[in-house]
Structure 1
Amino acid sequence: MAESKNGEHGQKIAYEKIAEMGSGLVIAKVSADSIREQDINARIMKNEMQRQLTDNIKKRGQLESLPFCALTHDGERVEIISGHHRIRSGKDAGLKDFFVILDVSGLNRSNIVAKQIAHNAISGFDDQSMLKELAKLMDDVDDMIESYAGKEILEVPDSEIDKLLSPTLTFDWKNIVFAFLPHQIEDVNALVEAIQKFAPDYVGVADVEAYKPFMEALAKYQEFANVKNVGAAIHAMTKTTLQQIDDSGYNDTEEWVQLTSIFGGSAIPKEKAERIKEAVEKMVEDGLVPKKRRWQALEVLADCYMAGE
């Protein structure tokens, strides 16, 4: 049986009554869009626990316990009293509807807050020794992870439980964010604001037109160097670039120009390259050009040509 009330801005908030419980309580099916969290909720949950809850719901495809909600006295909202984290994880898991215990008696704000505090406070506590006995009955790693019991309950060595519940990296790493955006200041500001919570060590922004060529270059380099890992490919490309800069003898006291702006390209036929390489190596051996600035061979040739030699 579907019932509805006029909501804020005239929209309909509908719920489907599944069963009557009496005393103003029903079991109802409510759409995710119709459920509103409280602005203040004293019960907190660690991020990793919230993620585990989301994974559990994804696996099941539904909540395994019913949240307690209320239809406000004006009939405009369905508000969560108990079950904020379950519903939040359910939404993250892609659930479109929730089965809830719904109080339709018309609670006011004071009534809702009182019940919210009561549900958070009257939750009992776990007997740790009994939890350990229960944990011994689990013989599947996935069940251990789903239980989120913790290593002190599961009595698994720290090194093992860390691998199961919270995989860690044994090397130093840096968090880098690099995005390709149109050159508009509002986009850049929005990007910086959006990623501040991740506290990256470096933030880079490039023209959106450079995204496709960059990805094509990365894919080709992975194939060329037979590197499957993207991070390893970027590392190898970076080393190659730094080596080229070092070989050129670059320093920031002079203004530099890319050779492609002179020759129109950076590649020549192999047989021509071998001949030029041989000449450059001889210039290095004769001391005409330094090993780290081989491009000066072009300068020598230019001077000779311009002098008519």
Structure 2
Amino acid sequence: MEDLNRLAPPQMVQGDPRTLTLLDVNARFLPHEQFRRLVANIERDGCLTSTPLVWNDAESGRLVVMSGNHRTLAAIEAGLTEIWWMQIDEPLPRQRQIALQLSHNAIAGQDDPAILKELYDELESVEWRQYTGLDDKVLDLLEKVDVASLGEANLDFASVQFMFLPDELERAEAAFDAARATATADQRWVAGLEQYEPVLDALETSRAAYKIGNSATALGVILTVFERHVGDLAEGWFDETSGEPTRKGTAPLETVFGARVVPVETAAVVRAAIDRLVKDGAVPADEPWRALDVLVAQQD
């Protein structure tokens, strides 16, 4: 295992952000609207109000931004010629560079919703509310919830981890093993690496369409749109032109009806019809779905 000795305290350095080297591979992404808000905030302040972490790579002569890539880029776009940053001057092995980068992205606190709402309500100016980057729709939801009764220990939740893996088997297996060793989740969903950008684009489109900033809310919008078009999945087993199946096996009922549920009145009528067919012996008791074949045949 690599040595995890303490780092020497970083020194504070002031300089031109254009002299810094941004990471080629950065796990943290920032939606376009949030980045534009960050640039606007920096233009208003005239400086950075949070400090990037920079490593002085003596071997290459580069000053590499380990944490704060978006802040640095936004400072450049805002026209700042000087910013402050914390600088590490000692050598850093590749493993420690990655660990530093990921730890700064991953270790973050949680907002207490009651305190968040209380502080937000103190802001009288619309401009300052906009400055915070908080989403009004999300905050509005707090009005409808008794947050005093909520606590992390009382919440029933499950964690889901998305992993976008490359096509190459060896690289995919290595990435999957690394993720499994460093993180826990109730479920892990694996997707192709080429699907990563379309997922981000879908989230960004949902946020822009409904003017929301919360990724979870945007994902809910995507799922709602999916539910409206669940019947389109019939393309996976049905040829609309010939009216014949295109494969063997089974098909989800929601792709037949275009909905996951039906009104109870309709369900009751269908269930009663199936029970009559089973009782008459026209349909096997262990295959009640065959009642659909009988009902369709009666229409011919």
TM-score (norm 1): 0.42
Q: Which has the higher strand share?
A: 1
| Greater relative contact order (CA < 8 Å, ≥ 6 in sequence) | 2
Structure label with greater radius of gyration: 1
